[in-house]
Amino acid sequence: MHTTPTPARTEESGTAAGGGRFALWPLWAAAAGVLGMVSTVVTDTRVDADEDFDFPVAAEDLATMDYDLFRVGGFTGYLTVICLVVFLALWRHRVEQRFSWSVGASVVTFGVGVSAAALTLAYGWKGALGNYGHGRPEAGTYDDAGLYTYYVMNDFSPYLSWLGVLIASGGLAWMAFREGLVSKVLGALCVLLSGGTMLAVGITGVPGLPVVAALGMAIAGVWLAFGRSAITQPDAP
């Protein structure tokens, strides 16, 4: 009969193996979360930013936009994906392979991988809009109808592409409450994040709400770096 190995105790159940110890590698997750918020939210530009805008958005409205932030967001978006992939590689090496019996660790791996792939496309489209737009280096490559296509894809793709990280937060919650590998306080925050966001999506029908997972990832990365969860502690001698 299969039995789950007993993990090192976390901060809620006693002193973790080796005591409190700073771990550098989770800060890659924190960096990805911060860069993701900048790349998705801070650099977002819309033709309807003016409250007096007369809907619907049309192709001719693309001539009135400032495209500088799209180019910035596309570049920082690529940096976001790099941080996600480096974090994923470190997670695989330091957590998933070490605790091979952990279902939650595998959920984190797959979730972050899904978001990294989707965000590669999303930020690529964002950067392209910053390159092809009016006044940009390759202006005139596409007419306003072509720019409108990029604009519509950029409207939601960087936001919904964080769904994989939202799923990963559910994996962290499982690791906290079922497997004892992560701080239960962090696990509770992950439950609120993943469950609350999905409930909000169901109620409002807004598909882009998973972007809040970027902020959650920034918090979780710092928490794991400075906390005493079993996954960041050395094995007991």
Predicted confidence (pLDDT) per residue in 64-81, tens digit: 888 999 999 999 999 999
Quick check: is 88 in a domain?
Answer: yes
Residue bearing tokens 């050395």: 234
Predicted confidence (pLDDT) per residue in 23-51, tens digit: 899 999 999 999 999 999 999 988 876 66
Q: Is 0.85 topped by the overall pTM?
A: yes
Report how far residue 74's alpha carbon sits from residue 96's, in angstroms, rounded to the nearest whole number: 31
Closest C-alpha to 21, from 220, 228, 230, 185: 228
Asked whether residue 62 carries a pLDDT value surpassing 70, the answer given is yes
- What is the distance of C-alpha 220 from the center of its chain? 11
Report how far residue 37's alpha carbon sits from residue 39's, in angstroms, rounded to the nearest whole number: 6
Quick check: is 160 in a domain?
Answer: yes
Report how far residue 111's alpha carbon sits from residue 18's, in angstroms, rounded to the nearest whole number: 29
Residue bearing tokens 């799923």: 167
Q: Which residue has the higher pLDDT, 13 or 197?
A: 197
Quick check: is 115 in a domain?
Answer: yes
Look at the chain and report how many structural domains it folds into: 1
Q: Which domain holds residue 93?
A: 27-46+65-232
Quick check: is 51 in a domain?
Answer: no
Quick check: is 193 in a domain?
Answer: yes
Q: Which residue has the higher pLDDT, 49 or 108?
A: 108
Quick check: is 57 in a domain?
Answer: no
Quick check: is 1 in a domain?
Answer: no
Quick check: is 19 in a domain?
Answer: no
Per the prediction, the chain carries an average pLDDT of 88
- Residues 6 or more apart whose CB falls under 8 angstroms from that of 192 comprise none
